[in-house]
Amino acid sequence: MQRYFVNQSAIDNYFTITDDDYHHIVRVMRMKEGDNLICVDPMKKSAVCSIAEITSEKVIAEVVKWEEESPELPINITIVSGLPKGDKLEWIIQKGTELGAYRFIPFISARSVVKWDEKKGAKKLERWQKIAKEAAEQSHRTNLPEVITPQNMKALIKIAEDYDYKLIAFEEEAKQGEKSELYKTLANIKQSQSLMIVFGPEGGLTEQEVSLLKENGFHACGLGPRILRTETAPLYALSAVSYHFELME
């Protein structure tokens, strides 16, 4: 069943769907009155709905049943990715959304080959957010992950002040056999608390960046004995979080 994130809560048990989602329902899916879909409101509540009316500009959907189960991870996990080359960040956002990430922060790292262009930034950010939205709908999320504009080190450290736990995925730790920091963090973190994990770009984080992050409350962790690509490491971490909280029990 198709899922759509709507901009307003239901009014008298009816949702109004417009713009791109209206086009998708009417032109792409070719739905008719009486067809069912799922609406997710701004409060992250989802409902099975029946299309009551289709006009030239909007779809009116009537709530049939509110869903009680939540597909979300019990902790809010933010993925900070050093700006990688090509479409790797799009891959991280798409697959990371499917795996339950709460937020994505691109990071302007010393070893980032890609240079952030402010003039073209708005279009890129819009594309990244669209990728997150489509992935959230496909994976039946109730939370639409936020993708924010790329941050430098100073701004990232400021944002991190609001997080309960902060980790750095550092390949040198993996080489040295570190394998307990991620486990200890997941064992201690409580439901609804927040976790930020920083991943370097191709070439990894510099020693100076790692030292500065450690000085500001981050702990370095390894992700197993193998060295992972910049687009693989976030997915490994998210999978580990999912296994710990959703499958071990």
Q: In the predicted model, is pLDDT for residue 64 greater than 80?
A: yes
Q: In the predicted model, is pLDDT for residue 176 greater than 90?
A: no
Q: What is the C-alpha to C-alpha distance for residues 198 and 110, in angstroms, rounded to an integer?
A: 14
Q: What is the pLDDT of residue 120?
A: 81
Q: What is the pLDDT of residue 69?
A: 87
Q: What is the pLDDT of residue 173?
A: 67
Q: What is the pLDDT of residue 177?
A: 60
* Cα within 13 Å of Cα(169), Cβ side: 31
- The first and second tokens of residue 175, run together, are 């080489």
What burial class does residue 195 get, using C-beta atoms within 10 Å of its C-beta: 0-12 exposed, 13-18 middle, 19+ buried? Answer: buried
Q: What is the pLDDT of residue 192?
A: 92
Residue-wise pLDDT tens digits, 79-106: 999 999 989 999 999 999 999 999 999 9
Q: What is the C-alpha to C-alpha distance for residues 180 and 159, in angstroms, rounded to an integer?
A: 26
Q: What is the pLDDT of residue 30?
A: 95
Q: What is the pLDDT of residue 170?
A: 86
Mean pLDDT, the chain, rounded, equals 93
Domains of the chain with bracketed CATH: 3-66 (2.40.240.20), 76-247 (3.40.1280.10)
Of 115 and 152, which is predicted with more confidence?
A: 152
Q: What is the mean pLDDT of residues 33-45?
A: 95
Minimum mean pLDDT range among 11-15, 113-117, 154-158, 159-163: 113-117
Q: What is the pLDDT of residue 244?
A: 95
DSSP string, the chain: --EEE-SS--BTTEEEE-HHHHHIIIIIS---TT-EEEEE-TTS-EEEEEEEEE-SS-EEEEEEEE-----S-SSEEEEEEE--STTHHHHHHHHHHHTT--EEEEE--TT--SPP-HHHHHHHHHHHHHHHHHHHHHTT-SS--EE---B-HHHHHHHHTT-SEEEEE-HHHHHTT--SHHHHHHHH--TT-EEEEEE--TT---HHHHHHHHHTT-EEE--SSSPPPTTTHHHHHHHHHHIIIII--
The answer to whether 92 and 234 have CB atoms below 8 angstroms apart is yes
Q: In the predicted model, is pLDDT for residue 227 greater than 90?
A: no
Residue-wise pLDDT tens digits, 106-150: 999 999 888 888 878 889 999 999 999 999 999 999 999 999 999
Of 79 and 7, which is predicted with more confidence?
A: 79
Q: What is the pLDDT of residue 189?
A: 96
